[in-house]
Chains A and B, each alone.
Chain A
Amino acid sequence: DVVVTQSPLSLPVTLGQPASISCRSSQSLVYSDGNTYLSWFQQRPGQSPRRLIYKVSNRDSGVPDRFSGSGSGTDFTLKISRVEAEDVGLYYCLQGTHWPQSFGQGTKVEIK
């Protein structure tokens, strides 16, 4: 099975400053159709998860453009250009290329 590893697991950030989360997979996430099924999710305290990014770099509807995704193969990154108070929560990456699908361990973003 594919192992997905996120870092860091805890990320204290200053309001207005950028933040970056890494996601690495144990195998390439390029699928046979040429797409790479790597998504990013945000989970605010007490809420269901919300998808931010799909297929590495595509923002879901309504997601602020301060969130961006990048990467290829086995190495991926979620960036927040300027952290706002509402961005506090847990962030997960998910690989959907290989079955069974698998989430990273999660990264807790908090304000310094």
Chain B
Amino acid sequence: EVQLVESGGGLVQPGGSLRLSCAASGFTFTTSSMHWVRQVPGKGLVWLSLINPEGTNTSYADSVKGRFTISRDNAKNTLYLQMNNLRAEDTAVYYCAKDSYGCGDYWGQGSLVTVSS
């Protein structure tokens, strides 16, 4: 059974940093591209970032480029999102998603990040 479990969310002050993790199991992580998507409560889905299986190629939404970094540890079957210089508008539920012919054949349960003083 495919499982994606996010962790690392919580309350952080504006300007602070946080690293989200997504533990993957039930599929061959090392051959799968992976995505991060976020959703402000009550609002729509926003695609954030993509990383290829080897971790050598990444893509970002303009809203997070230069502040967020996607990475992966294939030995640990884990995806990461390092978030720096956080702003109030980054408050959202963050989902990791597996890629198969595009984003999202499987999704995690989401991790809530709240940016507030």
Which residues of A pack against B, CB within 8 Å? Answer: 1, 35, 37, 39, 41, 43, 48-51, 54-55, 58, 60, 90, 92, 94, 96, 99-106
Q: Which of B47, B60, B103, B105 has the most CB of A within 10 A?
A: B103
User: Are B101 and A41 in contact (CB-based, < 8 A)?
Assistant: no
Q: How large is the interface on B (under 10, 10 to 19, 20 to 34, 35 or more residues)?
A: 20 to 34
Q: How many A-B residue pairs have CB under 8 A?
A: 65
User: Are B102 and A49 in contact (CB-based, < 8 A)?
Assistant: no
Contacts A99-B59, A100-B59, A100-B60 given; indicate if A51 touches B47 (C-beta within 8 A).
Answer: no
Which residues of B pack against A, CB within 8 Å? Answer: 35, 37, 44-47, 50, 59-62, 95, 97, 100-105, 107-110
User: Are B45 and A49 in contact (CB-based, < 8 A)?
Assistant: yes
